[in-house]
């Protein structure tokens, strides 16, 4: 089995752990390739994220590291995150759990697809989000005006500091901090959350992926669209963002930990 290994590069301990993990995987009979940035910090040869290929991508880091890997891979391969961050909700294993997992799964593992969303504007594809896309004001204390259109019908108009479009996977990230619900990642839908809305009647919406969804910015105030904290775009007045289910989901290796067990462990016991 071929394993692509990547680490956060701003933490010496994480890099040292990644180096020792690579040696352990080779000892167990895995073929190991290193991501280029990781390899450079370990004085080894590596392969750019965009060219990573294999049966499994192992990411040592926090949720940001996992999101970066998903965004930079041209073709999604199964990801296993080893938590070297704080909450690490996208990382299923703790560092001390990894050796036993790899020893027990040398031949196969279970993969769960996670829905992503594709965002387009004026026919141009902007990118895919695994967690969320957020439109926020570029000027503090200045509100934006939005309309939400579902199947061609305006479902709501409101003023707010911004709007967040989340996947079920992202419901335990920014969306949760913004007052949204925790959603089973097996459900497929678009979670829409106004950020600090002017009217209390502006509430979160959960919209089926079977419907067409459009978010329109109806103000001249400057705003930015941010996708998974990885890509940022300036928005102009009357910019309409179309949201649909992405053609290719992200793929996550299952480690036997139930989703709601992890919710209890990682979120309710912080």
Which residues are part of the catalytic machinery? 63
Tell me if 50 sits within 8 A of 73, measured CB to CB: yes
Paired tokens of 44: 């080894």
Tell me if 250 sits within 8 A of 76, measured CB to CB: yes
Q: β-pairing, 162-166 with 189-195?
A: antiparallel
Give the span between the Cα atoms of 99 and 127, in whole angstroms.
35
Paired tokens of 188: 């497929």
Tell me if 97 sits within 8 A of 119, measured CB to CB: no
Strand segments, DSSP code E, in 122-260 are: 124-129, 132-137, 144-150, 153-160, 162-166, 189-195, 205-208, 213-217, 223-227, 231-235, 240-245, 250-253
Determine the 3-state secondary structure of 96 from DSSP: helix
E strand or H helix that includes residue 22: helix 12-27
Burial letters 21-51, b for 16+ CB under 10 A, else e: bbeebeeeebebbbbbbbbebbeeebbebee
Determine the 3-state secondary structure of 38 from DSSP: helix
């Amino acid at each position: 089995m071929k394993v692509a290994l990547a680490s956060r590069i701003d933490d010496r301990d994480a890099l040292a752990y990644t180096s020792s993990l690579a040696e352990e995987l080779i000892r167990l009979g895995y073929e190991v390739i290193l991501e280029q940035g990781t390899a450079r910090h370990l004085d080894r040869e590596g392969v750019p994220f965009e060219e990573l290929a294999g049966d499994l991508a192992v990411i040592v880091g926090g949720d940001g590291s996992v999101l970066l890997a998903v965004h930079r891979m041209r073709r999604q391969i199964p990801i296993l995150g080893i938590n070297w961050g704080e909450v690490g909700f996208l990382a299923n294993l703790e560092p001390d759990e990894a050796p036993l997992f790899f020893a027990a799964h040398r031949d196969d593992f279970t993969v769960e697809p996670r829905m992503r969303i594709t965002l387009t504007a004026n026919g141009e594809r902007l990118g895919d989000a695994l967690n969320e896309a957020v439109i926020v004001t570029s000027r503090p204390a200045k509100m934006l005006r939005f309309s939400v259109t579902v199947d061609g019908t305006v479902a709501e108009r409101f003023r707010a500091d911004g709007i967040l479009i989340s996947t079920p996977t992202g419901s335990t990230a920014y969306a949760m901090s913004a007052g949204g619900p925790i959603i089973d990642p097996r459900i497929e839908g678009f979670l829409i959350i106004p950020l600090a809305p002017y009217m209390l009647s502006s509430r979160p919406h959960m919209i089926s992926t079977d419907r067409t969804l459009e978010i329109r910015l109806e103000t001249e105030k400057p705003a930015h669209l941010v996708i998974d904290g990885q890509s940022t775009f300036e928005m102009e007045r009357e910019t309409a963002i179309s949201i649909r289910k992405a053609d290719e989901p992200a793929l996550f290796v299952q480690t036997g930990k139930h989703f709601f067990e992890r919710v209890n462990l990682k979120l309710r016991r912080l």
